[in-house]
Amino acid sequence: MGLEDRRLPRPGKIIAVHLSYPSRADQRGRRPAAPSYFLKPSSSLAESGATVERPAGTELLAFEGEIALVIGTAARGIGIDDAWDHVAWVTAANDWGLYDLRANDRGSNLRNKGRDGYTPIGPDLIDARAVDPAGLRVRTWRNGELVQDDTTADLLFPFRQLVADLAQHLTLEPGDVILTGTPAGSSVALPGDVVEVEVDAPDAPGAPTSGRLVSHVIEGAARFDPALGSLPSVDDRQREEAWGSRAAAGLDAPAPALDPALRAKLLEAPVAGLSQQLRKRGLDSVSIDGVRPTRPGVKLVGVARTLRFVPHREDLFRSHGGGYNAQKRAFDAVGEGEVIVIEARGERGSGTLGDILALRALARGAAGVVTDGGVRDYAAVAEMDLPVFSQGPHPAVLGRRHVPWDADIAIACGGATVVPGDIVVGDDDGVIVIPPALADEVADAALAQEAEDAWIAEQVAAGHPVEGLFPMNAEWRARFDAARGTGG
């Protein structure tokens, strides 16, 4: 049934969910414990085939294909088991947003997402009684290319929960629309682009569908008046989030944190051998003591980014511990091939990161994390393809012992000074810090020593005594050089 046939009344409320799909949450690097919402004005509604305007002087108009729920009967104080009975229709929606206006309205999203035409829905309605809310699919196409494709099978917050949760705070009235969040794949559309969204229930009888909701992107002519309010502004972080990645945004890829050849040598060289070579060069205070990998057998190589926690103090945690604090900023800023090194003063009485921040580091391409404190969600972190070295597991949150204070400064971690830009290498023997200027020389020497030690081990296994062999005297050195074809 089409929207025009149903003649839905203009909704009193359009309520949108921030995050509900695991794929989107993982892309954002955070999985909220409970749903959160924002309101969109009913004047933002549009029909299939309408135009969506990107205002003059802006660049980051982003689409978000979503499933829209239309309330059929009033709901207030209902249980989760009864929630779906209050939904009459399911259809497609596109929760358009202008990232250029996002910063100053972050949270409310009023100007970012409330403009006229920024909530197209339709074109057809699916009877909610004919479908399983966990059996729906949403897909989005940009200029004919499929860019979003996900289902409601494993949502962070099932649709019944969303309806019941909202109804415990306010009355959902007939015609109200709930936008249920978008999966990964949301990105930027340009003037001239055509974006289509379709919702269907492929396994339900008759495979009901909303049909394709079509939006045509155009360039607006009017500009914003600076005398009236804040103006659009963007930075590379907003570009990355709007497009979905730095590469998609056309941003210059960061320079490799390490020369590939050097990285390959450090991956091969054992930490014990590197430590020995640093000591020969007068550097004996380079070990980050007391840390072990969450998963044995991993190798860590990367360039240090630093984060410092100070001891917990209630007033300081109130001012520095909440919101977008130094810890969260550090994990959002870490680059490819970099290692977040955390100063936690050797305090094992709380976690210094958990699975969500580890996931964010992994999504950013980080080489790993080193902390001389504890790790929450230890088993989940250990399963990730991210080397993490710590003092071990602890269930408590950060605020039990720490205040996140600052980042990208010289810190002390496990008794070692770590400066941003230092090279960090770890394996089952531990973690060391290498001054960048010595890295090539130390890596070459450690690999040479490793080859020598392997040859010595072969001789010992063959029955030779270690006297004169370990370390090698002149006779054994000559034999080694001859065996390796390096003799004179």
From the annotation, which residues make up the binding site for substrate? 354-357, 376
The torsion angle over the Cα atoms of residues 283, 285, 288 and 289, rounded to 10 degrees, is 130
Feature table: binding site: 354-357, 376-377
* Count of all residues that appear for the chain in the document: 488
Convert the chain into a string of H (helix), E (strand) and C (coil): CEHHHHCCCCCCCEEEECCCCHHHHHHHCCCCCCCCEEEECHHHEECCCCEEEECCCCCCEEECEEEEEEECCCECCCCCCCHHHHEEEEEEEECCEEHHHCHHHCCCCHHHHCCCCCEEEEEEEEEHHHCCCCCCEEEEEECCEEEEEEECCCCCCCHHHHHHHHHCCCCECCCCEEECCCCCCCEECCCCCEEEEEEECCCCCCCCECCCEEEEEEECCCCCCCCCCCCCCCCHHHHHHHHCCCCCCCCCCCCCCCCHHHHHHHHHCCHHHHHHHHHHCCCCCCEECCCEECCCCCCEEEEEEEEEEEECCHHHHHHHCCCCCHHHHHHHHCCCCEEEEEECCCCCCCECCCHHHHHHHHHCCCCEEEECCEECCHHHHHHCCCCEEECCECCCCHHHCEEEEEECCCEEECCEEECCCCEEEEECCEEEEECHHHHHHHHHHHHHHHHHHHHHHHHHHCCCCCCCCCCCCHHHHHHHHHHCCCCC
Q: Can you tell me the distance from the alpha carbon of 387 to that of 429, in angstroms, rounded to the nearest whole number?
A: 14
CB 303 within 8 A of CB 338: yes
CB 123 within 8 A of CB 47: yes
Q: Which residue, among 417, 440, 105, has the nearest Cα to 260 in the 3D structure?
A: 440
Feature table: binding site for Mg(2+): 377
Question: Count of CB atoms within 10 A of residue 474's CB?
Answer: 8
Token pair of 271 as six digits: 């930490």
* Angle, alpha carbons 299-303-308 (nearest 5°): 105
